[in-house]
Structure 1
Amino acid sequence: MTLAVQCRTLSGMRDTGEISDITAEGCCLRTRSLFFRPGTRLIVKPQGMEGMSGVVRWVRGDQSGIEFDRALYGPIVDFIAQQNRAV
């Protein structure tokens, strides 16, 4: 499953990308032009949802592992998965 998002670093840099492997605790983020370092703080915002703040924990090429500051409520993760399947 992948889901289009907008992302923004706390320093104001912006990009679009996609998240995958989403769980209550985090996700995998692939961006188009931004590349992150572990420890970078950012906000990812899927269309029609609130932004989710987190920190980059690992980087492999254009993919980054994001740990959310607050775990997502289980039904929210289910909703994201259902909405993505419907597309």
Structure 2
Amino acid sequence: MVCQIGVVPPPAVDGRRHPRHEVAVGAAMRTAGQGRFGAVLQDLSVAGCRIVTSTPMHVGERVFVRLPGFQAFVGEIVWIENGQAGVLFDVALHPAVVDHICQPTTRR
């Protein structure tokens, strides 16, 4: 897993409430209408993430995002574009969880 702090513009620049951190980590996803499928997290914040997957999804769809070593993060697809999707988590992650996932030495 790779995390590059400072690569994604801070909230004041792009209008987001929480800073995003670039990552490249595999995730297991699940929706109510589909079985498990793979995805890659591209960025992460306490409020949500951006994923890349070839599996079709729909805005408003409920998803479970599972990273190795963590319980599933539950959320909703809020946008989709070119094989990427934005997930808004139901419950914000603790900043320490985001820091742990983004540690350059963490391998998942």
TM normalised by structure 2 equals 0.73
* Match of residue 4, structure 1, among 13, 23, 26: 26
| Deviation of 1:13 (Å) | 2.4
Detail structure 1 runs of 4+ shifted over 4 Å in the superposition.
none
Which residue type is aligned with residue 28 of structure 2?
Q
User: What is the distance in 1 between the residues matched to 2:35 and 2:85?
Assistant: 16
Listed one character per residue, the Cα deviations across residues 8-42 of structure 1 (whole Å, up to 9, x for unaligned) are: 002242201111210000000111x3111110101
User: What is the distance in 2 between the residues matched to 1:10 and 1:54?
Assistant: 12
Q: Which residue does the alignment assign to 1:13?
A: 35
Unaligned runs of 5+ in 2: 1-22
Which residue type is aligned with residue 33 of structure 2?
S
Which residue type is aligned with residue 9 of structure 1?
T
Q: Which is higher, the Rg of structure 1 or of structure 2? A: 2
TM normalised by structure 1 equals 0.90
| Deviation of 1:61 (Å) | 1.5
Correspondence list, 1:27-38, <5 A: 27-31=49-53, 33-38=54-59
* Match of residue 62, structure 2, among 36, 41, 56: 41
Kindly, what percent of the aligned residue pairs are identical?
29
Unaligned runs of 5+ in 1: none
Listed one character per residue, the Cα deviations across residues 36-86 of structure 1 (whole Å, up to 9, x for unaligned) are: 11101010101111100000000001100000010000100000001xx22
* Match of residue 98, structure 2, among 47, 72, 77: 77
User: What is the distance in 1 between the residues matched to 2:42 and 2:91?
Assistant: 18
User: What is the distance in 2 between the residues matched to 1:60 and 1:11?
Assistant: 20
